[in-house]
Amino acid sequence: METTNNSQTAKVLYTGKTVTTGGREGTSKSTDGRLDIKLTSPGANGPGTNPEQLFAAGWSACFIGAMGFAAAGLKLKLPVDASVNAEIDLCLLDGQYSLQARLSISLPGIDKETAKQIAEIAHTTCPYSKATKGNINVETIIL
């Protein structure tokens, strides 16, 4: 499968497929059976997760991969204990819902300026960062 974006054709490498029923109080299952979760609204009691947590998990995992790519470009190795604490806020202003995010990045053994450079490069290659750029407020914190 190929898609067209800005008059260029992109090769699709992977398509994640899920079926969700019941919205925030329902279930979501991947078509390959590897994901099968109960959904709940943020702050609700009981089992289940919510879209904000899923988005945070996906973005942070992808961002670590992008930081590895960035570090390699700088002739560095990403620490094995590198981590990203992603926080996704569901916001309400004037009756309209929106998101905002904070990515707190820990790169043990890498100085703060180099870590900042790695994070900046990662934001240019991470698909989640590219998808949210200019659409939501994103704060990047180097720990």
Spatial neighbors of 73 by CB under 8 A, at least 6 apart, are 121
- pTM equals 0.90
pLDDT (tens digit per residue) in 56-109: 999 999 999 999 999 999 999 999 999 999 999 999 999 999 999 999 999 999
Q: Which of 73, 68, 84, 66 is nearest to 128 (CA)?
A: 66
Length of the chain, in residues: 143
Q: Are 57 and 87 a contacting pair, CB within 8 Å?
A: no
Mean pLDDT score across all residues of the chain: 95
Q: Is the dihedral of CA 89, 90, 93, 98 positive or negative?
A: positive
pLDDT digits (tens, 9 = 90+) for 35-54: 999 999 988 888 999 999 99
